[in-house]
Structure 1
Amino acid sequence: MQSKSAIWVKCLAVLVLFCGGLVTTTAVTPPTVAHATTVYVTRTGKHYFYNRHDRGLNRAKKVYAVSLKTAKQRGLTLSATEKAPAKRRTVKRVTRKKVTRKRTAKKVTTKRAAVKPQGTYTAGSQTYHVKVVNHNNPGFSRATLSTKHGAWQTYGNLDGYNRATAANALLNRKLMPKGQRQALVVNPTAWHNKRIKTGWLYNRCHLIGYQLTGQNNNLKNLITGTRQLNDPGMTTYENRVAAYLKASPKHYVRYRVTPVFKGHELLARGVKMQMQSIGSNRIRYNVYLPNTQSGMKLNYATGLSKVAG
């Protein structure tokens, strides 16, 4: 028969075992990651991480889960990103007072052409003047500025004296020729050409330049013009239009050239050139170019000429 003290010792041992079982079976969540037993490493890295999605592992091709003991045995140290996690940046919201402004109608101003026409051209000792008409406003009707039907060109019929009248077009890159210009063989009215000190007096001047439409030996598109009227006069504007058209297949230019004759004269006094780019004012001109040549006196009735006295 056991003594009371022996029975008390046995009861105390059972109680200890019971309490120990409760402790070992109760799940305890570590208060910090420092108490975790599993860490994450890479094959060749020098650090270990508690957090699998730590930014220090973003570029790792493969991540391994190992025990903390194993990681330390390999000589790995805790990553700096774990030691000092980035502080979350707080952005203060600034509330602004709503200011009610009165709407005022903006004044719409029409932009002038990007390149202003030069009023005077000088080549050596020769000077050629261009007159700007109506502040460079070409004055085309809205209907003729439509691109709905694409590019087009028309040439007025010769008048009763076989003189060219007017040439109109809606220019686009599609109308521009791809080949070289052939020699001109037809003679417009007042064609009495001759050599002068600076070269040939006259040129067969296209109302709409060949480089824009490909029209060549077309009497409806030709007049007798001095070298100065042709170049630098008309060619200067034609080159600007050609460059604009070549820049984009979507570019269009409304274009009109009208020779100005006085009475029954066969030699034009000059030409009026009007042009407007569609949808912009990159090309916007209305100019009068006189059919004159420095140092020469022209007979506009016939086209004959002599050196100015």
Structure 2
Amino acid sequence: MNNLITFSLILAGMLLLLLRKGTKRQRRANRRLATTLLLFGLASGGYTYTQQHTSLLGTPPQSSSVSNSVPATDGTSRQPVTQLTQLNYNNTAEITVNNNEPGFTKAELASDKGPWTTFSNLDSLNRAGTANALLNQAIMPTAKREPLTWNPTGWHNKKVHGEWLYNRSHLIGFQLSGENNNPKNLMTGTRQLNSPLMQAHEDDMAHYLKQSRQHFIRYEVTPIFRGDELLPRGVAMRAQSIGDNTIHFNVYIFNVQPGVTLNYADGTSQLN
């Protein structure tokens, strides 16, 4: 393609040099041919540039909160935790994972046994692990939430510009499950991570569940730690409503706060 473009432009240039020679009819013919070749060369060049430019940039994100995708490591529903652990924050607080496909297996989406929640045991460093649930209106709380007293790992809280830096972030949100002061369900999350980012997804799910007692959502949340660090680098969340795609996402939210540098080893922090 590039050789054809070059040849067209050279030939057009030669014809332009001949515009002053020959009969009037020949000059008109040369002018028309030169114009055609120039337009062809410019159009082809622009097409080639556009192709190359698009292939470098990729498909634009659908929203400002989604700018990247982490490929799945295999064909199963297992999260690419190793890849997520190595990610560094790059000015985008939330990204999609596996092209936003939750990736649950057919067995994982079964709802015949009714709603449930399961939590990983705390590890040797007292850190929370993956939490799973099949959500339904039946396990949503009816009583008001009581204050939390458990301090998750990395809990070195302080006020930044008049607001607390950290929240005790539920893996499976209280409004979805009624789980509250459960150490296996709590991690240290920045104010930004907990609300608005995690809460935005939780509110969407709560709204869906409230529409019908027949609505179910398969949900999984994993705090992502790097090595022996006590403060999570982020949280992976994926969800799929059963029988439809009303709720359908797979995202990773970085545990960061604008204007603050976090020490993930122990959860201490400094203002930028």
* TM-score class normalised by the smaller sequence: 0.5 to 0.7
Once the two structures are TM-superposed, the CA of residue 274 in structure 1 deviates from its matched residue by 0.4
Q: 1:155 touches 1:167 (CA, 8 Å); kept in 2?
A: yes
Distance 1:117 1:245, change over 3 A: farther
Separation in structure 2 between the aligned mates of residue 171 and residue 254 of structure 1, nearest angstrom: 6
Q: Secondary structure at the match of 1:254?
A: strand
Q: Among 265, 290, 297, which residue is 2:229 paired with? A: 265
- Aligned AA (1:253): I
* Contact map agreement 2:218 2:241 (CA 8 A) in 1: yes
Q: Tell me how far 1:147 sits from its aligned partner.
A: 0.8
Partner of 1:151: 115
Q: Which residue of 1 aligns with 2:202?
A: 238
Q: What is the alpha-carbon distance in structure 2 between the residues aligned to residue 225 and residue 177 of structure 1?
A: 22
Paired residues of 2:93 and 2:256 also in contact (CA < 8 A): no
Partners in 2 of 1:142 and 1:163 — Cα distance?
30
> Which fold has the larger relative contact order, with Cα–Cα distance below 8 Å and residues 6 or more apart in sequence?
2
- Across the aligned residues of Structure 1 and Structure 2, the Cα RMSD in angstroms comes to 1.4
Evaluate the alpha carbon distance shift between residue 240 and residue 118 of structure 1 in structure 2; reply closer, same or farther with a 3 A threshold: farther
Q: Deviations over 1:249-296 (max 9, x none)?
A: 000000000000000000000000000000000000000000000000
> In the aligned structure 1, how far is the partner of 2:224 from the partner of 2:141?
27
Cα shift at 1:118:
5.8
Alignment gaps of 5+ in structure 2: 1-61, 67-90
- Structure having the larger proportion of residues in helix: 2
Change (3 A) 1:226 1:128: farther
- C-alpha distance 306-176 of structure 1, shift in aligned 2 (>3 A): same
Q: Distance in 2 between matches of 1:226 and 1:133?
A: 21
Partner of 1:305: 269
1:119 matches 2:83? no
C-alpha separation in 2, matches of 1:144 and 1:135: 19
Give the structure 1 partner of residue 155 of structure 2: 191
Q: Name the count of aligned residue pairs.
A: 187
Tell whether 2:173 aligns with 1:209.
yes
- Shift >6 Å, 4+ stretches: none
> Which runs of no fewer than 5 residues in structure 1 stay unpaired?
1-115, 121-126
Whether the 8 Å CA contact 2:189–2:255 is kept in 1: the answer is: yes
Structure 2 residue 219 is matched with structure 1 residue 255: yes
Query: SS where residue 261 of structure 2 aligns?
Result: strand
Aligned to 1:47: none
TM-score (norm 2): 0.67
Displacement of 1:129 after TM fit? 2.2
Instruction: Provide the rounded CA distance (Å) in 1 between the counterparts of 2:64 and 2:217.
Output: 20
Identity score, percent: 53
Separation (CA, whole Å) in 1 of partners of 2:157 and 2:207: 31
